[in-house]
Chains A and B, each alone.
Chain A
Amino acid sequence: MSEPIIAFEKVSKWYGEFHVLRDLDLAVARGERIVICGPSGSGKSTLIRCINALEEHQEGRLTVDGIEIKDDVKAIETVRRNVGMVFQQFNLFPHLTVLENLTLAPMWVGRVPKKEADERAMAQLTRVRIAEQAGKYPLQLSGGQQQRVAIARSLCMTPKIMLFDEPTSALDPEMIKEVLDVMIELAGGGITMLCVTHEMGFARSVADRVIFMDQGQIVEQNTPAEFFAHPKSERTRDFLSKILSH
């Protein structure tokens, strides 16, 4: 059994006075696909944002790919090169074309020459089935297309870990499918994935583990089959009944 690629050891975080992550323990194995669900304010987004140091934790020990997340800027930059993140609001750069959005990081962080960066970018765009939009600006695309570009942008750096922060929550219902299809195909490729989402269908088909969080703690975690069929905690049952009913 190899070292976990992500290890949370009694991690705590406060937003001012609010204790958002409470003595969290979590170990993610290499290649594992995890779906995190829970009510809003439970700390799920904060958890994954701590992994690439977008949020700073105050107590506890967090290790990502062998590197401990501390105040060290160099360590954080190394971690971020290997961790890709997809945001709810896409966060594409509106003043750059789709292709330029994708080649920016490889050229400026990875020091890849332009020609190779362009080829890599086109390969990823083809993978998410949006190659023909390469010359357009993000605001000229639909929401689903923008999110797929965002996924392709993260993949251009060939990360070891992919983080998804509610990737389909800002999309029209019709566009959710195209993004989920991309994520399912990605999951089949062996990359470590942590996904905060409300799409339980996705969790059932793809996840190795489903984690339910409430009030900054992991209340329950299990395989999807067990989680949905036999939820152990009352709180979990309550949550599932609300989101699976409609």
Chain B
Amino acid sequence: MDTALHAPVIARPPPMRTAGPLAWLRANLFGGWKSTLATLIVVAVIARVLPEIIDWAVVRAVTRPDNAACRALDHSGACWGVIVEKYRLILFGRYPFDEQWRPLVATLLMVVMLIASCTRVLWSRWLVVAWLSVLAVFFVLMRGGIAGLTPVETARWGGVPLTMLLSTLSIAAAFPIAILVALGRRSHLPAIRTLCIVYVELIRGVPLISVLFMASFMFPLFMPPGITVDVLVRVLVGITLFAAAYLAEVVRGGLQAIPKGQLEAAAAMGLTYWQTQRKIVLPQALRMVVPSIMNSFISTFKDTSLVTIVSLYDLTGSLALALGGDANWRQFYLEGYLFIAAIYWLFCFAMSRYSQWVERHLNVGNVR
């Protein structure tokens, strides 16, 4: 038996991995025969497809709004000229041509406010005041009728401003409703629990189109005669209730994941139900389901495209309007869709990145 005195080994840093791009390639793309085969197949597909895409989209494309040149292409190249020709109609819908500076300013204001609301640093009472003022300015700019602006009815609002307005307001309204419904579904009071369950199951059982349809056409039937509710309000209510039902289930999933011990500790300290929810349960539950919540938000943003069913022309609807009615440009739908797809993607990607930022920042305490 070795009875020599124990000689301590001093801790030293780990060895350097063989680094560099060549080593990365060798390890990740050509690691084994399966990996190498997959790499070769993917490279072959890209090599086949990419030059054709570049040829169509860039090399042979026509960017002048020249209808004859575009037709002459005969689909061998992209006709970006249709965007140059129709972009104002696509972006702003049926809004009067001369007044389109108004929706532009309104949209930019809202985008600025959304970006400002992203950092917790700026969250204060003043932000709420700022939001209320910006929304008021938005409506005044779009609606007109005062300060010398010509009135524009809500049915003519369209394009990007409409998409932004519907998404922002419905998400902002759906979130608190969803939290209350999720809490209500876990309540000990049978009446509240049943109400919440019925609400969620009813809404989840029908597609958004039918909810919008009912909100837009059936809702006025129940109103006393003479009172008309603005189409925008009806549509907003429909989208909000729809989004809230799905969000409520997401929040409920988070609530279920809170260990019972947390509630017991809060109860043992004498915290009331609402204090426990506000300070202990919801902060932890919502943090856990940030990816799912963002998922719902992104879905709602794109669901606004269904308002075409009630003759409101958001970004998707205004594209159909811009190209469908014009016999000369009707065949260039693909370029049009790529354009609005790029816009949708931009917004959704921004939301997605924000979601990841939120996760990193809110999980300070949970990372060991």
Contacts and interface: CB of A to CB of B under 8 A. Distances in A.
B364 A109 contact: no
B268 A83 contact: yes
Given A87-B261, A87-B265, A95 B270 contact: no
A139 B368 CA distance: 6
B138 to A, nearest CB: 35
Interface string A73-93: 000010011011101010111
Interface string B244-262: 0000000000000001011
B3 interface: no
B287 interface: yes
B270 A109 contact: yes
A140 B265 CA distance: 20
Contact of B268 (A80, A89, A96, A138): A80
Q: How many of chain A's residues touch chain B, expressed as a range?
A: 20 to 34
A41 to B, nearest CB: 19
Taking chain B's interface residues, is the majority helix, strand, or loop, or is none over half, making it mixed?
helix
A109 B366 contact: no
B365 A157 contact: no
A227 to B, nearest CB: 29
B268 A93 contact: no
A108 interface: yes
A94 interface: yes
Q: How many of chain B's residues touch chain A, expressed as a range?
A: 20 to 34
B267 interface: yes
Given A87-B264, A91-B264, A137-B365, A77 B270 contact: yes
B31 interface: no
A197 interface: no
Interface string B161-174: 00000000000000
Contacts of B366: 94-95, 137, 139
B265 to A, nearest CB: 4
Interface string A125-149: 0000000000001111000000000
A104 interface: yes
Contacts of A105: 269-271
Contacts of A87: 261, 264-265
A137 B367 CA distance: 9
Interface string A181-211: 0000000000000000000000000000000
Interface of A: 52, 54, 77, 80-81, 83-85, 87, 89, 91-97, 104-105, 108-109, 137-140, 153-154, 157
Interface of B: 259, 261-262, 264-265, 267-272, 275, 279-280, 283-284, 287, 364-366, 368
